[in-house]
Amino acid sequence: MAHAVETRINTPSAELRDLLDKAERQLPTLDSASLGGYLQRLDRIDALFAQIEVDHAERNSDADQALRSELVRWHDLQRQLQRRSRRLVRLAAASGGFAALRSQYASGEGMWWRLDELVAAQRRTQLKRLLQTLAVVIVLGVVGVFAYQTWFAPDPETIALVSSLNAIERHVDAQEWTLALDEAENALSSLGESAELLTWAAVIAERLGDETMAARYREQALTFFGDRRLQFYILLGTDRFRAGDLAGADEAAEAALTLDPDEPQVYFLLGNIAEARGDVNAALDAFDRAATLAEADNPQLAVVSKMRYGFLLQQLQAIPNPAGASTAPEDDASNATPPATP
């Protein structure tokens, strides 16, 4: 009786089931040190299927019928490997990458030895889609500019306002706060009050440390906006972000969220703030939320948010991580960069 049990356990079918069990359990907790051995185990599973198929052919029986459940599990395991391919590629980086593993081990022909090629192909496809989206945005922008200049030519006062705002922003980018404030106050004197000028004057006064002046300009700007308090806080947060005041920008964004917790522009601003702070996961979440909320009413912002999400994800995936670490979503700052204008 003992001999019969031992013979049954040592059959290729029994070994196949045992290896499948181990491979399925180990995959979620796989680490870089055990990756090479795991891939070799997959080679053994593949070889056992081939061996069993030959044995059944010699006996004129149907191997697929006999191992139907094991075949289903095997195909499912391979799909899981593809879904987790990015994580496995990061694990392989600790050993020099999949190319080094293929050289170190006598690798077979299984796709699991070439997950790096699969990931590279996926990234090329994603980048191609992003570039196509960018091309569409550029074309729409050119058409929009042409239509604007042809049928909606700005008046001289608007041109002067835009010129002053550009000058203010150049001084802000160079942290020339006194020159920026002079430009803002001269424009307010010559062109009259505007939401953009008053908000910039408030933010620049904050950077100069003159809270009394800043509070006065904020109050004037808020009065100018009237019932559009939400837009005031969005503009205030955006200007503070460009001026390098991340804490102030965050404060303005939170004030805007109390007025409308589903405003996509606020999440776009929060994404820029989080990215400037180096909080990549929070930035990805914010850009994703902005894209989702803007889909129906602000398609241009939705496209820009998706692009920011995609580019940030590409940059994150290009950064080598310690073995087993993950800084991107799983497959299953004083001089902050100004946010893209949606």
Q: Is the overall model pTM greater than 0.75, yes or no?
A: no
Over residues 142-152, the mean pLDDT reads 64
Mind listing the pLDDT tens digit for each residue in 290-336?
Answer: 999 998 888 999 999 999 888 888 877 665 554 444 444 444 344 44
Which CATH class for the 148-318 domain? mainly alpha
DSSP 152: S
Helix (H) / strand (E) containing 293 = helix 280-294
Mind listing the pLDDT tens digit for each residue in 244-298?
Answer: 999 999 999 999 999 999 999 999 999 999 989 988 889 999 999 999 999 888 8
Torsion, Cα 286 287 291 297, to 10 degrees, reads 70
- Count Cβ atoms below 10 Å from residue 191 Cβ, excluding itself: 15
Work out the percent of the chain whose per-residue pLDDT is above 70.
83
CATH 1.25.40.10 domain range(s) in the chain: 148-318
209: left (phi over 0), alpha (psi -120 to 50) or beta: left
- The model's confidence at residue 137, banded by pLDDT at 50, 70 and 90, is confident
CB 214 within 8 A of CB 237: no
CB 165 within 8 A of CB 197: yes
194 three-state secondary structure: coil
The Cα 209–Cα 20 span in angstroms is 66
Helix (H) / strand (E) containing 124 = helix 115-151
Mind listing the pLDDT tens digit for each residue in 154-202?
Answer: 667 778 888 889 999 999 999 999 999 999 999 999 888 888 999 999 9
Q: What is the pLDDT of residue 248?
A: 94
